[in-house]
Amino acid sequence: MKPPPLSYSRPHSLDEALDLLAEHGDEARPLAGGQSLVPMLNHRLSRPGLLIDIGAIAQLQRMERTESGWLIGATVTQRRLERDGTGGCDLLRLAVPFIGHRQIRARGTVGGSIAHADPAAELPAVALTLDATMVAAGPDGEREIDAASFFVGPYMNSLAEGELLSHVVFGEVPPTARCSFREFARRKGDFAVAGVAAAVATDDGSVTDARLTAFAVGSNPVRLSAAEGVLAGRSIDSALADAAEAAAAEIEPWDDIHGSAQYRRQLIATLTKRALQDVAP
């Protein structure tokens, strides 16, 4: 389990990184924290001719509040979010501890996790729930991609050739919204067997804004729009069972050694119910 032969580079600016990407095309692969990529190299499931280590590019390490939300640079580590806080982004705060273990979060990055687009990963689900904007840097400048169109398949994103994920802007939720992050994994720190992220706002007991995302139950994290629809205008308590049933029905899970598709539907129903109980006023 040793990486295949490869070259390594470490640019100091985004422009240098983009130049290398342009020059080496398909052969090149950005290396952020490497917590998914290096295991893939060790398994020889990935064979880039050139690794572009983006870890020393200061521009990618920004973390700041902007008008449109909480901006996090691609190479900000998950540990930094855990240690320095998530700037009031409650869903992110709840989700981060579920990412692997401390040792993984120490190196793993926000951009790396999102660009890797593992269907069972936490941050893509948070991004989808918060209608995040992914900002891609390319030869022609920056391009915004909304979360819903960023994840296009298991381990596949919609970045174009020559583009790098520069940063992510996590959107705001209404001030009254409450968040929950529920994940079922076999062991602490394992990838989810199923998970639900929720941000729900209510006014006088009625749901005014419901965002529910299921992950690890299909090729991508998916907004539970049917369940969100069920909740609209109702009290969480009264809609709980219907929302859970709708959520279980609208996903397209698959079988693996940890459970059948049917089991994952049961899990999503359970987790949806529990997440909604968490956010009930």
Q: Assign 94 to helix, strand or coil.
A: helix
When binding is defined by CB under 8 A, the residue of 53, 90, 172, 278 that contacts another protein is: 53
The CA distance from 279 to 201, in Å, is 8
Strand bridging mode 178-185 / 192-203: antiparallel
Work out whether 78 is an interface residue with another protein (CB under 8 A). Answer: no
Q: How many CB atoms lie within 10 A of CB 261?
A: 14
Work out whether 45 is an interface residue with another protein (CB under 8 A). Answer: no
When the beta carbons of 17 and 201 are compared against another protein, the nearer one is: 17
Work out whether 158 is an interface residue with another protein (CB under 8 A). Answer: no
When binding is defined by CB under 8 A, the residue of 62, 93, 143, 258 that contacts another protein is: 258
- DSSP bridge partners of 213: 197, 223
When the beta carbons of 52 and 145 are compared against another protein, the nearer one is: 52
Work out whether 1 is an interface residue with another protein (CB under 8 A). Answer: yes
Helix ranges restricted to H, 85-185: 90-95, 102-107, 110-116, 122-129, 147-150
The CA distance from 165 to 126, in Å, is 17
Q: Which residues bind another protein (CB under 8 A)?
A: 1-12, 16, 20, 24, 31, 33-35, 38-39, 41-44, 50-51, 53, 55-56, 58, 61, 75-77, 79, 100-104, 106-107, 109, 184, 186-191, 193, 257-260, 263, 266-267, 269-271, 273-274
